[in-house]
Structure 1
Amino acid sequence: MSLLKIYHYPDAVLAEMSEPIAVVDDEIRQLAADMAETMYAAPGVGLAAPQVGISRRLIVLDCGGEENPELIKAVNPEILERQGDSCEEEGCLSVPGYYAAVKRSSWVKVRYVDMDGQTVEREAEGLLAICFQHEIDHLDGKLFVDRLSSLKKGMFRKKYPKILEQQQEQL
């Protein structure tokens, strides 16, 4: 396994629509393993293939924390149903140092293909539901900041270069 480079806003790969994966083979399983290692090292709770420069429909998630880890590797994930409202603060490994409240569904039913090539349907709520929605957005070329109001997007665009500058000074 190896750590992969995480691409940051405004890199163009983050705005691309990802291609579906036809078959789960050893190359996809290795990519998923490398993505999981990269996500844990960052540290984060989710990572999508576009964030490591690959426009394919693959995400990895683990919202269980250290006490109850549950690594999910999902190929071609899609949301089948959604219910409820949530507005939680989100961050993103591709937008380091910036956090904002984002409106999402509080419950989702998702379908994806696992690393054995089996179709899985599952329900998710809370953090896991938010994480599925966030990572699937990446596959559609959207960042969480794209879901902000026009006013908040404008504030983000003004504030973010200063955040990056401060991070560079700390290195």
Structure 2
Amino acid sequence: MMILPILKFPDERLRTKAAKVEMVDNTIKTLVDNMFETMYAKDGIGLAATQIDQHLQIVVMDVPDSGEDYQLLLKKRESKTKTPLKSKHPLCFINPIIVGKDGKEVHSEGCLSVPNYYADVERFNHVVVEALDENGKKFTLEAKNLLAICIQHELDHLKGILFVDYLSKLKQRRLKDKLKKVK
């Protein structure tokens, strides 16, 4: 397995809309394993394929202490990664779609593609998602709280949307200026 490079904002490749996965084969399974390895190595709780310059509708996540926040209608993924799991809920979403949502919540978000920057974003605090798992089996997941926020954040990546897009133009400009100084 490999740790893959993560694209950083304002890289325009992060704006690419992801294509649907036509078939879950060994190439996709290897990509999923590499995505988990990368996410864990970077201390993330979610990673979209777009962030590693693979523009396919694939998201992995592992939200700590989320056991009471959702109901899974599938067996827990058995990780093949060498990196120890940080929680007991690694999830893979292939071709995910949100089929239900309600409630609102403001939550401070960060992103592996926008390192060391956090901002408040309003999102739904309850979602229902349909997707395929890393074996190509369809599942439905009901999520709330942090898991629901993370799902929406990662699915935005698949549409070429970043959490900073929810900020005012002034805050976006300040962030870009800050990143230029860091470089």
The answer to whether the superposition gives a TM-score over 0.5 is yes
In the alignment, structure 1 residue 77 sits paired with structure 2 residue 77: no
Cα distance in 2 between the residues matched to 1:79 and 1:147: 19
Unaligned runs of 5+ in 1: 166-171
Determine the structure 1 residue equivalent to 2:170.
151
1:169 alignment counterpart = none
Structure 1 residue 67: Cα displacement: 6.5
**Cα deviation per residue 1:5-64 (whole Å; 9 max; x = unaligned)?**
111011121001100001111100100000000000001000000111111100000002
Which one has the bigger helix percentage? Answer: 1
- Give the corresponding residue for 1:90: 109
Which residue number corresponds to residue 28 of structure 2?
A: 28
The structure carrying a bigger strand percent of its residues is 2
SS for the counterpart of 1:121 is strand
Percent of counterpart pairs with the same letter? 41
Q: TM-score, normalization: structure 2?
A: 0.85
Report the Cα distance in structure 2 between the residues aligned to 1:124 and 1:149, rounded to whole angstroms.
28
SS of match in other structure, 1:34:
helix
| TM-score of the aligned structures, taking structure 1 as reference length | 0.90
Identify the residue that residue 112 of structure 1 maps to in structure 2.
131
| TM-aligned CA deviation for residue 69 of structure 1 | 2.1
Q: Which residue of 2 aligns with 1:52?
A: 52
> Root-mean-square deviation (CA), in Å?
1.4
Q: Is the 8 A contact 1:108 1:123 kept in 2?
A: yes
Partner of 1:15: 15
How many residues of Structure 1 are paired with residues of Structure 2 in the alignment?
164
What is the distance in 2 between the residues matched to 1:132 and 1:63?
A: 10
Measured against aligned partners, the alpha-carbon deviations of 1:100-125 in whole angstroms (never above 9, x if no partner) come to 00111111000110122111111101
Structure 1's consecutive aligned runs of 4 or more residues displaced over 6 angstroms after TM superposition are none
SS of equivalent to 2:101: strand
